[in-house]
Structure 1
């Protein structure tokens, strides 16, 4: 059975082919390559003129940013794009490669085996999404990675996944403050973590720029 998640990608457009029904091309960022399709039927549903011009502007060899759905079926992955834009600020390219390095190091460096605490699930309370994931240690502060993990955990909770409009940023902050009162978690750090996950495609905005929903199926 296929899986579909919302993603934001950056790379160089290659092998662009225009057809009556769609435009296909490969996106390569130096770490890998993936096939992308931009269907004209999606253009006509949103804004036919601007989206047609959008695909005429981007050409092979250009850096582009893509928003769309990552679909996997029978071991093959491709992106169905609903937005393709040329990169204008090349700081985005630098940021992208810094994020690639960060993710690579995070996946390859050995993880510490320190256990902060344990969880006792409340089996009788289906609204237990505000229950702390670990028992806090007074005076201890979170690292950036820990804050990012806890923010993503909030979006991955069952009560959050079923909400069509997702969660408001302020609600995410309230939940984390409730669960980690003694960790001095600042709202700015929480907002930075939300931006981090949005940039990587872990979450996506829904009804406005303040509501976000997990792009994963949990």
Structure 2
């Protein structure tokens, strides 16, 4: 890294689509520093890869995965009080998986700590992710300069009912939201629109009470239930705590 160069802060309220090669080549100024990709700090990330080996332990499952650009270990910690074990049973060797998590380094060896992991059922998602990773790289390195189609614009379009197109796993291409969420029921769809819009101003996550206030006439318990379902399906992820959420797209 060039002396005196301060890395850009990637927006913490988005999920960065990457390739494994980008993670292997990511810079880390010192052991406690955030990883840096394309000159931007790397927080939550996602990639699609194929599982080549599985090692099951009492407290976690280690997967060796590769995406054609490189190979990395993904470690998923198991919680006996949840259904993680059942979900892990769906992931097998030579199956493509979608991984959400954070990059870690221990004794010089990099791995991914998975917060969410699921099998890919449509190969189009593999191709889509590769395009998303390219788009994210170009947007960060070249910039958008406030061009139309930003995340805030997409969120406002959802609230106002404007016909925006929506991408499935965009960390930066949120102008494509509607197609992604049109299959959802009305309440989850409205929640996704609100979270997408409000995320820019709530880097620690959008609180469920805040969502309920915007929705009006919807009980907080209903919002919490819908948010939990959206989180388990990979649309949202928890931020500051379980009541603060951000969109994975």
Q: TM-score, normalised by structure 2?
A: 0.43
Normalising by structure 1, report the TM-score: 0.48
| Greater relative CO, 1 or 2 (CA 8 Å, sep 6+) | 1
Larger-Rg structure? 1
**Structure with more of its chain in helix, by fraction:** 1
